[in-house]
Each structure stands twice: as C-alpha cells, then as structure tokens.
Amino acid sequence: MYNEIVMAGFGGQGVLLIGKLLAYAGMNGGSEVTWMPSYGPEMRGGTCNCTVVLSDREIGSPISKRPHALIALNLPSLDKFEDAVRPGGIIVVNTSLINRLPKRTDVTVVPVPANEIAVEVGSAKAANMVALGAFLGVSGLVDQQGVQGVLVEAFPNRQKLIALNQEALRRGFEIGQGHAAAVAVK
C-alpha cells in the first residue's frame, strides 16, 4: 500500500489540520507517514495545501507530483491539482465553494456540500472534517474510528468541539461510502 493525498484550500479552512489528522491516524494504524505543508506568506485567506503519504514501506520523499487523491476545498485548489491526480484516483470536491465538477472521467469524483453540512452539525468551520470524512468513506484508506480517536487527542478537554467534529466526519463518511458503493457496482 502506497498512497499520496493532497488536501488544498484557503488558509483558515483547516487544510493542514485534516492533513495532520490523517497522518496521525495512519501512523497509529501502523503505516509509514509523511506530512508536508505548503502555504503562502499571507496565511489566512491565501492558498495552502498539504501532502500526506501513507505507506506500508519506507517513504522515499514527501513530495508528490501524481497524487492518488485530492481533497479540494476551493476552486483555485481544484484548478491547480485536478490534472495531477493519477488515473483511477479520487477527487473530493467541496461543492459549497466550487461551482464545477472535475472535467476528468478517469477518476472517482465525490461531490460534497461540505459547508452546508458543517452548518447543519453546528459550525461552518467543520467543513474540512466533512470533506475528510467523505475521502475516508470512499477510499477506506484509514479507519474513521482512528481519525475520531486522533480528534480526541488533538482537542483534549473540549468535548463539544470533539463531538461536533466527529459528527461532521461521520456525515462526510456516509457520503463517501455511498460513492464507494456506486463505484463498486460499475
């Protein structure tokens, strides 16, 4: 198993956080892991992304030119990374902020209204968790419970925040699982 995942969006959307959560869950699950952030000097409001590599063997480089998956939280991120995703890969699209789906037909596209779902569960800031959950549901790469456990470690003594993020993750996971089932039927 060797998977490269790029998560991208505006600074302040929690892109780096979901990358860390995925990396820690993978590490806790026994995978070799790298996490590499990239962001502009403007931080909040500017673009940022991170690459997570999960593997069952040593990882030679944290840099990915042809990721297996993309979680795009905004249109500039989809525009920048869509063509780089490997054929057969996964692209999770936050349809709340992205007004188009990927042009590609050789990848699994998971449209998810992440911001709307996040508001439903209690905070617009949880859109990143909805998107991460959708990726976990469609890919099966890391156990959802593993990420939920890492959330508890990341936010100790903040039960309300933990519960809200876990619910956002669960809601996204259900959407991703629905797309995984549809792909399996094809």
Q: What are the tens digits of pLDDT across the range 151-170?
A: 888 887 788 889 999 999 99
Question: Could you count the other beta carbons within 10 Å of the beta carbon of residue 106?
Answer: 10
**Sign of the CA dihedral with 10 first, then 16, 21, and 23 last:** positive
| pTM greater than 0.75 | yes
User: For 2-185, CATH number?
Assistant: 3.40.920.10
> Side chain identity at 55, as an amino acid letter?
S
pLDDT digits over 7-44, tens only? Answer: 999 988 999 999 999 999 999 999 999 999 987 665 56
**Whose CA is closest to 179, among 127, 143, 131?**
131
Which residue shows structure tokens 């840099």? Answer: 63
Residue 98 corresponds to which tokens in the numbers above?
């992205």
pLDDT digits over 62-83, tens only? Answer: 788 899 999 999 999 999 999 9
Percentage of the residues of the chain whose pLDDT score is greater than 90:
74
DSSP string, the chain: -EEEEEEEEEBTSSHHHHHHHHHHHHHHTT-EEEEEEEE-TT-BTSEEEEEEEEESS--S-S--SS-SEEEE-SHHHHHHHGGGSPTT-EEEEETTT--S--S-SSSEEEEE-HHHHHHHHT-GGGHHHHHHHHHHHHH--S-HHHHHHHHHHHSTT-HHHHHHHHHHHHHHHHHHHHHHHHHHH-
pLDDT of residue 185: 42
Ranges assigned E (strand) in the chain: 2-10, 32-39, 47-55, 69-72, 90-94, 108-112
